Amino acid sequence: MKRKLRIGLFGFGCVGQGLSDILDRPESSLSIEKICVRNREKYRPLLNERLASSQEDILDDPDIDVIVELIDDHVAALDITRQALSRGKPVVSANKRMIAGNLDTLLDLQREQPHPFLYEAACCASIPIIRTLEHYYGPSEISGIEGIVNGTTNYILTRMVRNDLSFHDALKLAQSNGFAESDPSMDIEAFDAKFKLCLLATHAFGVVVPVDKVFNYGIGSISKKDIAWAHSSGCTVKLVARATRNGDQLSAAVLPQFVPPHHPLAGVENEYNGVLVHTPYSDAQFFHGRGAGGRPTASAAVADIAAAASRYRYGYDKVNALAKPDFTNDVFLRVYCRYGDTNIPRELPFDTVEQYFSDRQYNYITGRINLETLVSSEVVRNPDVFIAALPAA
Ligand SMILES: NC(=O)c1ccc[n+]([C@@H]2O[C@H](COP(=O)([O-])OP(=O)(O)OC[C@H]3O[C@@H](n4cnc5c(N)ncnc54)[C@H](OP(=O)(O)O)[C@@H]3O)[C@@H](O)[C@H]2O)c1
């Protein structure tokens, strides 16, 4: 009888437990042999016999075939990944922060070590988007990607729109339903979406996008007034991650967007994610599925474990190609900007103004602005300001 593939698991939180729910069945061909957690003293029924005594207990075990890294510490995750690959063990990870922040290092490591390092679960949970971008689309076949890639913010925006909730009430609802962490800042401020966008851009365009240069602007300052304004212009509000190729230039940013009802992303609700891949010759393809949660995320890890067992690796053909676009923030966007302090329009120079409104309670301006202006402006850190992208005119 064929022996089961043996997994050494790091992390037994939301996704680690989701993996155990999927794999701990007699008919499964994959077996979680050892589990390493941060706090061994925490009460975990039925887990004790599999708890590893240390990181090395898993990494040095010759009977462990694949390392699955599902921890919430990006620094420790990089260390585990490095050590596992250098010991000849394939690694499956869901840690978008660790991967996006260290992609150059991880690419070098993969050139030195021939062992698979796969991370489908790091982007859009259940949607098989990384392998699709990597292998289905050729080097110049994608002109842009845009997506709702963060389930927490999409849940909050959906509840604000559907239930007429304030941001704070919608956030509380997300937390009580398990769709937002107690410290939701990485999601709310769009860092999580930015990490995912960087990974998607690497596999779509071959560009290792510098994470700190990509503009991320979240939904923490959104108000009911902004949602009402979006409705009055026939739109809904979504947090959209977008990377666009224009000849030999690539721009990327994450910010709220007023989305018209006919747009595929308008129908992506709650914790679901959606990614639209634009191509020059076949219009666009739309991928939709659960973007968060233990089992949906773990299902992508299961697919990666099976792929790693057959020695599948990302080819990074686009990354290794000679002709690749250069990253730039020198592009123009149409935006809506609501503000309290009437000095804001002077501090945030628009290239062209389309609408300007001001009364004692509500001021806003719409128009065209250079993305570089947003990247370098302090205005984006003002809690009394909300900025959203408008559909192209
Ligand atoms: N939750 C989602 O929907 C989702 C979706 C996509 C991707 N992800 C990614 O999946 C990963 C796990 O997320 P999660 O939601 O499952 O996190 P979580 O519920 O907070 O659980 C984190 C787990 O990591 C363990 N841990 C932390 N540092 C460790 C270390 N140095 N060594 C061993 N174990 C350590 C913790 O141990 P203790 O239990 O002892 O504290 C805990 O079991 C993260 O990278 C996250 O970004 C999550």
Percentage of the chain lying above the pLDDT 90 cut = 90
Which neighbouring-strand residues pair with 92?
68, 118
Residue nearest to atom 21 of ligand 1 (CA): 13
Q: From ligand 1's centre to the CA of 70, what distance in Å?
A: 5
Which neighbouring-strand residues pair with 243?
145, 252
- Average pLDDT over all residues of the chain: 95
Backbone phi, psi, residue 79, to 5° = -60, -45
Q: From ligand 1's centre to the CA of 189, what distance in Å?
A: 20
Q: From ligand 1's centre to the CA of 296, what distance in Å?
A: 15
**CB-ligand 1 contact for 10 (6 Å cutoff):** yes
pLDDT, tens digit, for every residue of 367-380?
999 999 999 999 99
**CB-ligand 1 contact for 309 (6 Å cutoff):** no
CB 98 within 8 A of CB 211: no
DSSP 344: H
Q: How far apart are the first and last CA of the chain?
A: 63
Q: Is 258 exposed, middle or buried (0-12, 13-18, 19+ CB in 10 A)?
A: buried
Collapsing DSSP states into helix, strand and coil, what is residue 302? helix
**CB-ligand 1 contact for 37 (6 Å cutoff):** yes
How far is CA 377 from its chain centroid? Answer: 24
Indicate the pLDDT class of residue 183, thresholds 50, 70 and 90. confident
Q: Could you give the angle at which helices 103-112 and 191-205 cross, rounded to 10 degrees?
A: 40
Indicate the pLDDT class of residue 48, thresholds 50, 70 and 90. confident
Strand order in the sheet with 66-69: 30-36, 5-10, 66-69, 91-93, 117-118
Percentage of the chain lying above the pLDDT 70 cut = 99
pLDDT over threshold 90, residue 199? yes
Nearest to 316 by CA among 308, 324, 307, 327: 324
**CB-ligand 1 contact for 155 (6 Å cutoff):** no
CB 23 within 8 A of CB 32: yes
How far, in Å, CA of 223 to CA of 105, rounded?
40
Instruction: State which amino acid sits at residue 150.
Output: N
pLDDT at 46: 64
Pocket test for ligand 1, best of 50, 53, 59, 71 (most atoms within 8 A of CB): 71
CA distances from 189 to 149, 185, 256 (A): 13, 6, 11
pLDDT at 181: 83
Q: From ligand 1's centre to the CA of 349, what distance in Å?
A: 42
pLDDT at 42: 87
pLDDT at 36: 96
pLDDT, tens digit, for every residue of 242-275?
999 999 999 999 999 999 999 999 999 999 999 9
- Residues 6+ away with beta carbon under 8 Å from 76: none
**CB-ligand 1 contact for 345 (6 Å cutoff):** no
Taking each continuous run of H as one helix and of E as one strand, the counts in the chain are 15, 16
Neighbouring CB atoms inside 10 A of 21's CB total: 12
How far, in Å, CA of 114 to CA of 116, rounded?
7
pLDDT, tens digit, for every residue of 307-320?
999 999 999 999 99
Q: Which amino acids are annotated catalytic?
A: 196
Backbone phi, psi, residue 35, to 5° = -130, 130
How far, in Å, CA of 272 to CA of 335, rounded?
25
Instruction: State which amino acid sits at residue 243.
Output: A
Joined tokens for residue 323: 């002709």
pLDDT over threshold 90, residue 392? no
Backbone phi, psi, residue 159, to 5° = -70, -35
pLDDT over threshold 70, residue 187? yes
Neighbouring CB atoms inside 10 A of 348's CB total: 21
Alpha helices by DSSP H, the chain:
14-23, 55-59, 74-86, 96-101, 103-112, 130-131, 151-163, 167-176, 185-188, 191-205, 224-232, 294-309, 317-320, 344-347, 371-376
Average the pLDDT over 37-48 and give the result.
82
pLDDT over threshold 70, residue 209? yes
pLDDT, tens digit, for every residue of 121-164?
999 999 999 999 999 999 889 999 999 999 999 999 999 999 99
Indicate the pLDDT class of residue 90, thresholds 50, 70 and 90. very high
Average the pLDDT over 156-184 and give the result.
93
**CB-ligand 1 contact for 181 (6 Å cutoff):** no
Average the pLDDT over 335-359 and give the result.
94
Average the pLDDT over 93-97 and give the result.
97
pLDDT at 109: 95
Q: From ligand 1's centre to the CA of 13, what distance in Å?
A: 5
